[in-house]
Chain A
């Protein structure tokens, strides 16, 4: 158990819908990362938050947004869903977001868009 929790574990929804994925980082970690894993794109970095503020953006679509709350949990919002958004979404956390720190991953949320 990495100490990072993600809910829900599975999500099935329809095209055009909106979903919210939730992540709680390990105790004491201030930095949260979101990654998407799909068969065609592999593992891709989406966005990073540090202590409530956005720190870095990767290949995140405009239909996607995220935030980190004062209690450090984070949410990833996916809207106007398309079939191609079906993927495994991971949250990871680390202490300060330094490049030398290990990122510990949550169990992931498996999203299926029908």
Chain B
């Protein structure tokens, strides 16, 4: 069964430093997508970055990059130059290609709470 594991319940980082949030996944599907979402204390879910299973290069979006290691089934999020506004919960999620009629719905990890210290 598909599963997302985020092993870091909470992390601290100093403002302006880089931080890596870990995510490992388990799937037997050859085609899948990997996503990171940010959830501030206000509750909304904000899309950050996407990596497709066939993408050769790691995805980048501004200060966010995804360190995709397919053989190790890991999709770690790297945030460079942390800002106070980066303090939030971060969720790793996986979607799968059409399988048994189910396509696209996301499976989420339990999240990592990031706190940025001034």
Task: Spell out A's residues near B (CB within 8 Å).
Answer: 2, 31, 33, 35, 42-45, 48, 55-56, 58, 88, 90, 92, 94, 97-105, 107-108, 110
Name 28 interchain pairs, CB-CB below 8 A, sorted by A: A2-B47, A31-B104, A42-B108, A43-B108, A45-B107, A55-B101, A55-B103, A56-B102, A58-B105, A90-B45, A92-B45, A92-B106, A94-B104, A97-B103, A98-B103, A98-B104, A99-B95, A99-B98, A99-B103, A100-B33, A100-B50, A101-B104, A102-B47, A103-B104, A105-B44, A105-B45, A107-B43, A110-B43
Q: Shortest distance in angstroms between B39's beta carbon and chain A's nearest beta carbon?
A: 9
Q: Mark B41-52, 1 if CB is under 8 A from A, else 0.
A: 001111100101
Closest chain A residue to B50 by CB distance?
A102
Q: Shortest distance in angstroms between A104's beta carbon and chain B's nearest beta carbon?
A: 6
Q: How far is the CA of A31 from the CA of B96 in the complex (A)?
A: 15
Within 8 Å of chain A (Cβ to Cβ): is B97? yes
Number of A-B residue pairs, CB cutoff 8 Å, is 75
Q: Are A108 and B43 in contact (CB under 8 A)?
A: yes
Within 8 Å of chain A (Cβ to Cβ): is B91? yes
Closest chain B residue to A34 by CB distance?
B105
Which A residues lie within 8 Å of B45 (CB)?
90, 92, 105, 108
